[in-house]
Structure 1
Amino acid sequence: MRQSGTELATIRNFIAGLPGWGSGDIVIEPAIPILASPSWRGVDGFPWRATRKGGGDSIFIKAMDRDAELYIDVACAFEAAQRASDLGIGPKVLMADSDVGLLVMEDLNQGWRVGTLERMLEPDIVDAVIAAMRLFQSGPPLPRRKSVFDEIEHFYAAAAAAKAQLPSDAEWLVKELRFAADAFRSLDIAAAPIHGDGNVSNILISDAGEVRLIDWDRATTADPLEDIGSFLVEAYAQEPEARDVFTRSAGTFDEGAFNRARIYGVADDLRWGLIGALLAARSARNTLEFYKFASWRFVRCRMVVREPRFGEMLRRIA
């Protein structure tokens, strides 16, 4: 696994196997700024762009940071990215080596923009995102089989072992979501491969309205409702809008399934809060605002869990 300051020579040697990328007329430079808060952008790995001098052709290289070992199954993430490439719902993967943590993809730069909350109000875009999720879910299981509830337990233990700074009610939040996990175990859930991270910054949108999903680091085999749940909690702060989008995704409104999706969104907030707290304690990159990001996710999780409606949601999951 490479550090975020991956030597340019290492990248240059790696991409030399691609036709046309082995010459010396290649410029390699940072692609996007890394930002932990308010969005988890570029944190998992250092993003580079390699450009041919004169021609202007470019490729995108993701060099996984050593921090990724704390919270990402890199081999599974790279496999998911390759599947998304093959399905046409993610950037085309050109080269990948999970052992060294390098993923080379087409550079969706010109004519593409990162998703925003405003774009998630456009029905055609929402339908394209949901269709991409469903297509990925139709494939064979991924080797990783961890639900969001499994990850909460894992990262809570890891954060405690690292003596991470956690909010005073962290144990209570974990226990509440543990209660939810117990309730979900009684359900007959057919697991499927999922993207697992509904942050709108993980959606690229072309000028023509095409959609690509990126950052497959949380990809796993789990309840497909985890996908829509993490998307709803990120993109729709108000329940009426979330209901509308859920109905578009399912074709009809199923209260039990909707409540399960919403609870998955709450669990997603707790999981990311714990990941942020863990990295705030363990990462060498102390210039990044990991705990600020974690605090926001804890706040949003707490807001829902403390509402009487959270218990009502749990009672109506079937």
Structure 2
Amino acid sequence: MLEIGAARSDAERTLEAAIVQVEAWKPCCLSYQPVSGGISNTNFLVRVDGDPVGYFVKIPGRGTEMFIDRSAARAASKQAEAMDVGPRTFDFLDHLDIEISEFLDDRRASTHRDFLDPAFRATVVSMYRRLHEAPPLPLTKTVFDMIEEHYEQVKQLGGYWPEDHAWLYRQYKQARAALEASGLDLVPCFNDPMPGNFLVGDDKSIKLIDFEYASNNERLYDLAIWSSEHFFSEDVEQEIIEEYFGRYDKRWHARFIVHKALADIKWSAWALVQNRMSTLDFDFYKYGIWKHMRARSIIYDPRWPSFLKAL
């Protein structure tokens, strides 16, 4: 753990300058250490002398204000806390757009291996159902809004486009038209199911962290991006749909698969923005190209036209 005054990087200096402003912590000795994980921000564990609670402090990454509404993220975190789905949150540094929540020492970040267990997946499905039944969030931001936002940002930043960008954009517009014609089912969505955002207890219970991308969005998008992030087979997707809705329907599965392609287009465009803006040590270019490739693999599937017709 580092003491105040021992900062070695810009992120650590930013952290120190912020946490000394917390009124409740001013009489205390503070120490901190970096926490690995995440590809948007720089994260720290802060210890307050005499306080048994560990604090998770998130320093926003450069440029993240372009696509993250911090006030909306706070509201989503508060709602998750009230539902006992997320950790306790603290408003100590909200005015600096720095997020602070309880550091859950008794839990570990999940891995892809956890999601091989059908019982574990069923627990996650149940949690998603609870999230989706909650009151609407203050921010409505569909996957269409996200894609358009990132496309405009890449243009403004002079970012890289893949050679078949125009073709990919046409496929997205066609899928969007089909989905909007069928009507959108907007509910509170998590939108960011990276394994590290699921914290697992010894009893296999789960808490979610990181609600920066949460918004009212299409219900099946939330399930589809979870499947995409964890490389589920179509057989597993069928189980997820049946577990979530109580029965399986091929039309829901078609919608699910279309949303998987849109999720990859969204995150590939996001990566192209990050490639121009972020100072984190992460290969956003490679990440974006991989996401583009996976979106193509779904759209190239001979069944793609039938998926769109089924919507």
CA offsets per residue over residues 135-154 of structure 1, 9 Å max, x none? Answer: 22222222221211221122
2:221 aligned to 202, 213, 226, which one?
Answer: 226
| Cα offset, 1:254, TM superposition | 1.3
Q: Which residue of 2 aligns with 1:61?
A: 57
Q: Which residue of 2 aligns with 1:71?
A: 67
User: Does the 8 Å contact 1:232/1:262 carry over to 2?
Assistant: no
Q: Which residue of 2 aligns with 1:87?
A: 83
2:78 match: secondary structure: helix
CA distance in 2, matches of 1:282, 1:288: 12
Query: Against the structure 1 CA distance between its residues 68 and 184, is the aligned structure 2 distance closer, same or farther, given a 3 Å change threshold?
Result: same
Q: Determine whether 1:44 maps to 2:51.
A: no
1:208 match: secondary structure: coil
Q: Which residue of 1 aligns with 2:273?
A: 278
Q: TM-score, normalised by structure 2?
A: 0.90
Q: Which residue of 2 aligns with 1:29?
A: 33
- Structure 2 stretches lacking a partner, 5+ long: 1-9
CA distance in 1, matches of 2:267, 2:92: 26
Q: Determine whether 1:11 maps to 2:18.
A: yes
Q: Determine whether 1:312 maps to 2:306.
A: yes
Which AA in structure 1 matches 2:62? R
User: Does the 8 Å contact 2:107/2:199 carry over to 1?
Assistant: yes
Query: Against the structure 1 CA distance between its residues 239 and 76, is the aligned structure 2 distance closer, same or farther, given a 3 Å change threshold?
Result: same
Q: Which residue of 1 aligns with 2:189?
A: 194
Which AA in structure 1 matches 2:137? L
Q: Which residue of 2 aligns with 1:257?
A: 252
2:294 match: secondary structure: helix
CA distance in 2, matches of 1:8, 1:234: 30
CA distance in 2, matches of 1:44, 1:251: 36
CA distance in 1, matches of 2:120, 2:88: 20
Which AA in structure 2 matches 1:157? E
CA offsets per residue over residues 65-124 of structure 1, 9 Å max, x none? Answer: 232112211111111111111111011112265441111111113x31212111112233
1:106 aligned to 102, 105, 126, which one?
Answer: 102
1:143 aligned to 138, 142, 158, which one?
Answer: 138
2:141 match: secondary structure: coil
Q: Give the CA RMSD over aligned residues.
A: 2.0
User: Does the 8 Å contact 2:22/2:93 carry over to 1?
Assistant: no
User: Does the 8 Å contact 1:233/1:262 carry over to 2?
Assistant: no
Q: Which residue of 1 aligns with 2:166?
A: 171
Query: Against the structure 1 CA distance between its residues 315 and 289, is the aligned structure 2 distance closer, same or farther, given a 3 Å change threshold?
Result: same
CA distance in 2, matches of 1:63, 1:169: 36
1:186 match: secondary structure: helix
